[in-house]
């Protein structure tokens, strides 16, 4: 009987640790195991560690493996050239919303026409990928803070920000 109580207690602490870990931006499955193995000490350890904020690049999409580096180096131009061209195109636009400003700071992933995940890439590289038609309005995209992969056009602010690139 005592063994059953210990097992149930361990599982409950594991579930609680997993739940709070996800709320704090950490991997729930790993913290479930830590909670089961360490019990209340695993839960205390979780609360002693700082939360991982939305701007952190440590969380990656779990649905597909990463297949690319941080930029599209073969696309021509140096990063400074790309940043200058984006800054020039942004000079005539309205001020950025907070959500769009945050989106520009995150690493992005997308699924290409061959159904391969690309990323992580910078927002500027996402813009170049869209401009060069490596992704379309229907392409699935993801960045930290999103619950699931979504078609690009469903992210209305990001899509509107990227779309003028095709106009000229």
CATH of the domain at 138: 3.30.1490
Pick from 21-30, 42-51, 90-99: least confident: 90-99
* Domain presence at residue 64: no
| pTM over the 0.85 mark | no
| Edge-to-edge order in the sheet of strand 117-121 | 117-121, 108-111, 140-143, 150-151
For residues 102 and 20, state if they share a domain: no
- Rounded to the nearest integer, the mean pLDDT of the chain is 77
* Domain presence at residue 67: no
Helix or strand holding residue 99 (H, E) = helix 98-103
For residues 84 and 154, state if they share a domain: yes
* Domain presence at residue 65: no
- The model's confidence at residue 63, banded by pLDDT at 50, 70 and 90, is low
For residues 144 and 81, state if they share a domain: yes
* Domain presence at residue 11: yes
- Give me the phi and psi of 142, to 5 degrees please: -155, 145
Angle at 60 between CA 114 and CA 121, to 5 degrees: 60
Higher per-residue pLDDT: 141 or 23: 141
Pick from 80-89, 102-111, 128-137: least confident: 80-89
Domain that holds residue 138: 73-167
For residues 99 and 136, state if they share a domain: yes
Please give the Cα distance from 108 to 70 (Å, whole number).
Answer: 9
Tell me: pLDDT of 67 over 50: no
- The model's confidence at residue 114, banded by pLDDT at 50, 70 and 90, is confident
* Domain presence at residue 87: yes
* Domain presence at residue 68: no
For residues 100 and 152, state if they share a domain: yes
Percent above pLDDT 70 for the chain: 71
For residues 40 and 86, state if they share a domain: no
Domain count, the chain: 2
* Domain presence at residue 54: no
For residues 84 and 32, state if they share a domain: no
Higher per-residue pLDDT: 124 or 79: 124
């Amino acid at each position: 009987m005592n063994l059953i109580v210990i097992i149930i207690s361990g599982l409950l602490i594991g579930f609680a640790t997993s739940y709070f870990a996800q709320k704090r931006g950490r991997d729930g499955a790993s913290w479930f195991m830590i909670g089961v193995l360490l019990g209340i000490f695993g839960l205390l350890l979780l609360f002693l560690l700082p939360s991982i904020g939305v701007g952190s690049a440590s969380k990656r999409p779990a649905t597909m493996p990463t297949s690319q580096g941080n930029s599209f180096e073969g696309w021509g131009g140096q990063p400074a050239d790309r940043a200058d061209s984006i800054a020039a195109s942004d000079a005539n636009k309205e001020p950025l919303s907070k959500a769009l400003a945050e989106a520009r700071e995150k690493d992005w992933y997308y699924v290409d026409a061959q159904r391969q995940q690309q990323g992580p890439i910078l927002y500027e590289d996402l813009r170049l990928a869209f401009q060069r038609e490596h992704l379309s309005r229907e392409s699935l995209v993801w960045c930290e803070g999103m619950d699931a992969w979504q078609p690009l056009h469903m992210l209305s602010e990001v899509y509107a920000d990227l779309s003028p690139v095709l106009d000229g």
